[in-house]
Structure 1
Amino acid sequence: MPAVVNEIVQTDFEMEVQARIEAERARLRAEAGLARMREFKKPVERTFTAAERDYVTILFGGLTWKHEEMIKAVFHGSGYKCENIPTPVVADFQAGKEYGNNGQCNPTYFTVGNLVRYLQGLEQQGLTRQQIIDNYVFFTAGSCGPCRFGMYEAEYRFALQNAGFDGFRVLLFQQTDGIKAASGEPGLKFSVDFGMGMLNALNLGDVLNELVYQIRPFEVNKGETDKVIQQAAKTLTDTLRDRKRWHVMDAVPSWAKPYLEKHKKVEGITCTLGKIADNLYGKEYVDALHACRDSINAIQVDRLRVKPVIKITGEFWAQTTEGDGNFNMFAFLEKEGAQVLVEPIATWISYMMYVAKEGAKARAEVDAPYRDPKWYELKKRAVNELLLFKKTGGLTVGSGMWTYFYHRTIKHMGDTAHHIVPQKELSRLAHPFYHQLARGGEGFMEVGKNVYYTVNHLCHMVLALKPFGCMPSTQSDGVQSRVVNKYKDMIFLPIETSGEGEVNAHSRVQMALAEAKAKARAEFQGVLDKTGKSLDELREYVADHPHLSHALYKVPHQEGLAGTAAQFAVHVSDLMDKDRAYRRRARVSVPEQRVA
């Protein structure tokens, strides 16, 4: 009985203490003017339903035109109405600042303002605001990361509301969820054909984007590269959009159809595997790749032009966009006589899978159902290992497949684009400076790529493009000062992008570029001195062997050399040394010159 009384007294005492705490908390809130404070609740998005697919247009943007054309073709081929928003310009940045919150990062202002101005353009064409809200939705990436990227969705809604488009729908594609749409709405259905089409679209966009920057600086006929790439992109988009969708019932013999109709599970599995194979290995798709490869290969190039190779890194959006959002930096670099080495989206996707896998490993001991099992408790240890495998096994397979299919696309498109750098190697190189699980921006990749491309002599200079005031990039830049201190021959330049300051940014790049150009010229002269051949002799041999001037002629990589001209000079010199007919002609011409 005394125990029950004590328990009641104790409970009453705790309740009184809690009541006093709540009363004091209420008093402090009232003093601070927070008495009416309410808990924030995420706005409920109006659904995008399957019934709306026939008249609702999906808008998206923010990538290169190559990627966007491929993605649009997949949407159209899957039965959706879709349009890509034009590349953002400075006016979009200003609109983003006008309608959005203060203190946002550069990509936020450009992309938010870009969407608002696009909708305003629709209104100017005669559509009412309600028609725009009902007949259009915006599809974009989302994140829960530790930077303002995690607030993009809220910023879109806030700016749209301020611009008079309250209720406009934003469909979010979460980075952490893969292709699982955050909206979960049936209006946007992720089928096998759609998913595999998007895989092909991203890979093709990456490869075409790199080929443009790989070939254009050396093209003999100015403007030919852009013209051929645009035609190649059209060939590929037509294929992605119009190709016949494979189905198992159309492919199997008539005697097998009754069995499949009776066994729906077998039909479903067979159909899924068949669709995957057809999307990746189908004759129509592969033939389109080869047709584009052949047309691109016909471009004539002069690889003996000495140009510094500039590797682009930095924040995802700033290093990808091709307009005012990064001061039109790629076009500026080419105009200044540089060769730009862009970063594929494939690397970013590989990074996300790698970090998810390593994060699961790091949490394995905490998440394990059995803590610190003894060495002889085999069952408990096996359960722990199985749980970890369930979390990491799929990521390992997925990462391997992603890399394989990207490299396969490269192979079918001439095999000259760069392969994905292994994330484990980037993490290893960055580890002395940056932990692999430190999140934000590109994480360890920005440091890892800077070291990787420098120590392996794959570029003359690394240019990191990032938004003004970007928190993760500021963190990375702080580390880069120590990296540059260790690698004395490294040329690294970080540029913060914004809606203004283009002249100043270009000026800074020009100063660093002068050093990179000198480095490239010295490298090429060293090759000429070592081979003992003049530039005229190399050009003469190339002129006699036209296939060496084809855009997709694969030049073997020479260790220790970064420049295209230097690597090509070594290769041509080796061909000359092995060419008996050339050596005979050379021996004959020497006496003739002496007689003359």
Structure 2
Amino acid sequence: MNGEPSLARRLLVGGLGAPHDQLAAAAIANAFAAADNGTGVSTLVHTWGALDEGAFERGRSVLPRGQCAPVLYTTGALLRTAEKIEEEFGEATALSLLSVRSCGPCRYALFEPAWERALSRAGHPPPRVVAVEQSIDGLRELVGDEGMSTLLDALLVADVLREVLHRLRPRVEEVDELEGAAAAAVLRIASAIESGTAPIEALAEESGFHRHLERCAPTPLARVLILGDPWSMHVEGDGQLNLPRVLARAGAEVEIPPFALWLNYVLWQMRGAPYGRSQAPTEARISLAQSLEAELRTRLAAASRAAGLGGFELPDMDELTELAAPHLTAGVRGGYGHVEVGLAVRARRERRAHLAISVKSFGCMPSNGVSDAIVPTALDGAIPFLSLEVSGDGEAARESRLMLRIASAVEAAAADLADARGPLDPHEGRGAAFAGAAAASDALAGTFEAGPRTHACTLACHVYHASSRSLAMGSGAER
């Protein structure tokens, strides 16, 4: 690769956590195996490992003060993995990194210099960095066109798997058993991808990994919209304060946009109106971006069908731009920019949540400016708002604030259910409505979307539509 084959022999894939890192690494390993076939050159692909508190503390120990949380988490995880490779091969090794190069775009989160500084101090040569979201040419050079296609499908499969977990956590009796089954399924899917199976086909083979789990009785769940800077919104685990797990324990379901939304935002910027001194995009560039956006939606839909997942779609980027326009111009870049605001306004308009939480990395100046002032204004009091900071400190204080808000959200969900029961006959209609709600809740495709959203509470939506059908049938019989 550019006369430097050693760089391709140690590729570290990471930056988002499980399952995205695992499946992306499997797709890259498969592409390398095809490229290396018959050359006698072996390419080793590793993930960066867990983006946990240990990684955060390691990053904090080697970098200057004032770095944002994504830089600290990723640097610490990268160093740990580089050291393991050094122990295995007996010497510091030149590395290539496939990751996200920045959080946003962001003028402040300088991931690459931080990684170079940390690796240099550990005795490693400067790494070659290929960014998932910013370097199509670099990706094509690394894995080829077919490898890029496989990588995209692997990332979308990871989005779908994560969504399955989000939907099921508050609806199964044993969450630990669910997460264990999901982790095992991810390993099997990764192994299949690395062996040459198409990612969506591998997902279809494992789509039943959760079906043996005992479901909870239908209950009104508070619904929480997670917003934030791109990294904090999409990463899994400590970097996101483990919010999906914490909220599920407290009786809430979550809506978190998929990582594909970030890719869609990058494509939108290719065709978006110019800002500052940037030049207007050419017709060819606009056409290319639109075709890639359509392909992204098509592939995400295919992955969702493979998992039996209904109602999982990308928000329309142009609609989000229009919704955000009264509050924040689309020309302001940094973090998620107007996208976060558009998601908040959409949630208010469509009654999608009882609570909006903006999770922010410590030091994220672009996104903090959006969440601390603009998003609450856009919500206009219709949805309570809470901003939480990922800093590695203050966990007890954060959880206390969160639980206070969740208690109110759970009460609001119960009120939604009471309102949805309103049209029901107290003796006849109620049983039929709950039977329909229970059946829908037991099917993965029905746990999130039950026709038009009439209430933020999903169970209330099921009951409302079931009661409406019951009343309509009764009226027809009377006539």
| TM-score of the two chains, using structure 1 as the length reference | 0.70
Partner of residue 222, structure 2: 308
Partner of residue 360, structure 2: 466
- Aligned with residue 107 of structure 1, among 70, 83, 100: 70
Would the alpha carbon gap of residues 390 and 540 (structure 1) be closer, same or farther in structure 2, given more than 3 Å must change? closer
Query: Are positions 1:541 and 2:443 aligned together?
Result: no
Partners of 2:56 and 2:73 within 8 A in 1: yes
Partner of residue 403, structure 2: 510
Would the alpha carbon gap of residues 428 and 232 (structure 1) be closer, same or farther in structure 2, given more than 3 Å must change? same
Partners of 2:223 and 2:354 within 8 A in 1: yes
Partner of residue 357, structure 1: 271
Gaps in structure 1 of 5+ consecutive residues = 1-45, 245-278, 280-284, 368-386, 584-596
Shift of 1:560: 2.5
Shift of 1:455: 1.3
Partners of 1:105 and 1:467 within 8 A in 2: yes
SS in 1 for 2:142: coil
Shift of 1:557: 2.3
- Aligned with residue 208 of structure 1, among 161, 177, 189: 161
Partner of residue 453, structure 1: 347
Query: Are positions 1:173 and 2:108 aligned together?
Result: no
Partner of residue 138, structure 1: 97
| Greater mean deviation of Cα atoms: 321-330 or 231-240 | 231-240
- Aligned with residue 482 of structure 1, among 377, 391, 396: 377
Shift of 1:498: 0.4
- Aligned with residue 147 of structure 1, among 87, 101, 107: 107
Would the alpha carbon gap of residues 389 and 99 (structure 1) be closer, same or farther in structure 2, given more than 3 Å must change? same
Partners of 1:211 and 1:417 within 8 A in 2: no
Amino acid at match of 2:239: G
Mapped partners of 2:138, 2:101: distance in 1: 10
Partner of residue 231, structure 2: 317
Mapped partners of 1:507, 1:147: distance in 2: 33
Instruction: Report how many aligned residue pairs link the two structures.
Output: 461
Amino acid at match of 1:407: A
SS in 2 for 1:293: coil
Partners of 1:153 and 1:172 within 8 A in 2: no
Amino acid at match of 1:515: S
Partners of 1:99 and 1:160 within 8 A in 2: no
Mapped partners of 1:361, 1:107: distance in 2: 27
When the two chains are superposed, the root-mean-square deviation of aligned CA atoms in Å is: 3.2
Mapped partners of 1:523, 1:455: distance in 2: 16
1:168-317 equivalences under 5 Å are 168-173=126-131, 175-177=133-135, 179-181=136-138, 189-220=142-173, 222-243=175-196, 287-296=201-210, 299=213, 301-302=215-216, 304-317=218-231
SS in 1 for 2:260: helix
Mapped partners of 2:118, 2:67: distance in 1: 12
Q: Deviations over 1:467-525 (max 9, x none)?
A: 122111122123224324xx222211111110111111111211222221121111011
- Aligned with residue 496 of structure 1, among 389, 395, 402: 389
Q: Deviations over 1:87-112 (max 9, x none)?
A: 22223222222211222111111211
Mapped partners of 1:536, 1:411: distance in 2: 32
Would the alpha carbon gap of residues 388 and 515 (structure 1) be closer, same or farther in structure 2, given more than 3 Å must change? same
Would the alpha carbon gap of residues 94 and 510 (structure 1) be closer, same or farther in structure 2, given more than 3 Å must change? same
Amino acid at match of 1:242: S
Q: Deviations over 1:107-140 (max 9, x none)?
A: 11121122223334455x4654xx2324x43332
Partner of residue 28, structure 2: 75
Shift of 1:197: 0.5
Mapped partners of 1:470, 1:160: distance in 2: 24
Partners of 1:307 and 1:565 within 8 A in 2: yes
Mapped partners of 1:571, 1:234: distance in 2: 39
Shift of 1:180: 2.2
Q: Deviations over 1:263-322 (max 9, x none)?
A: xxxxxxxxxxxxxxxx6xxxxx66544433345456553462111111111011112223
Shift of 1:330: 2.3
Would the alpha carbon gap of residues 448 and 546 (structure 1) be closer, same or farther in structure 2, given more than 3 Å must change? closer
Mapped partners of 1:48, 1:429: distance in 2: 49
1:408-419 equivalences under 5 Å are 408-419=302-313
Partners of 2:433 and 2:463 within 8 A in 1: no
Would the alpha carbon gap of residues 417 and 298 (structure 1) be closer, same or farther in structure 2, given more than 3 Å must change? farther
Q: Deviations over 1:8-33 (max 9, x none)?
A: xxxxxxxxxxxxxxxxxxxxxxxxxx
Shift of 1:550: 3.1
SS in 2 for 1:432: coil
Shift of 1:344: 0.4
Query: Are positions 1:393 and 2:326 aligned together?
Result: no
Partner of residue 52, structure 2: 89
Shift of 1:202: 1.0
Mapped partners of 1:289, 1:122: distance in 2: 30
Would the alpha carbon gap of residues 87 and 289 (structure 1) be closer, same or farther in structure 2, given more than 3 Å must change? closer
Partners of 1:325 and 1:497 within 8 A in 2: yes
Partners of 2:225 and 2:256 within 8 A in 1: yes
Mapped partners of 1:396, 1:557: distance in 2: 28
Mapped partners of 1:101, 1:47: distance in 2: 33
Q: Deviations over 1:345-401 (max 9, x none)?
A: 11111111112211359979x66xxxxxxxxxxxxxxxxxxx831231111111122
SS in 1 for 2:58: helix
Mapped partners of 1:362, 1:158: distance in 2: 32
Partner of residue 37, structure 2: none
SS in 1 for 2:460: helix
Partners of 2:15 and 2:100 within 8 A in 1: no
Partners of 1:313 and 1:446 within 8 A in 2: yes
Q: Deviations over 1:66-96 (max 9, x none)?
A: 2122112112212242111222222322222
Would the alpha carbon gap of residues 317 and 48 (structure 1) be closer, same or farther in structure 2, given more than 3 Å must change? farther
Amino acid at match of 2:360: K
Query: Are positions 1:50 and 2:5 aligned together?
Result: yes
Mapped partners of 1:301, 1:551: distance in 2: 11
- Aligned with residue 329 of structure 2, among 435, 441, 461: 435
SS in 2 for 1:139: strand
Amino acid at match of 1:60: V
SS in 2 for 1:191: helix
Higher Cα radius of gyration? 1
Partners of 1:174 and 1:180 within 8 A in 2: no
Shift of 1:219: 1.7
Shift of 1:154: 0.8
SS in 2 for 1:496: strand
Partner of residue 158, structure 1: 117
| TM-score of the two chains, using structure 2 as the length reference | 0.86
SS in 2 for 1:171: strand
Partners of 1:142 and 1:153 within 8 A in 2: yes
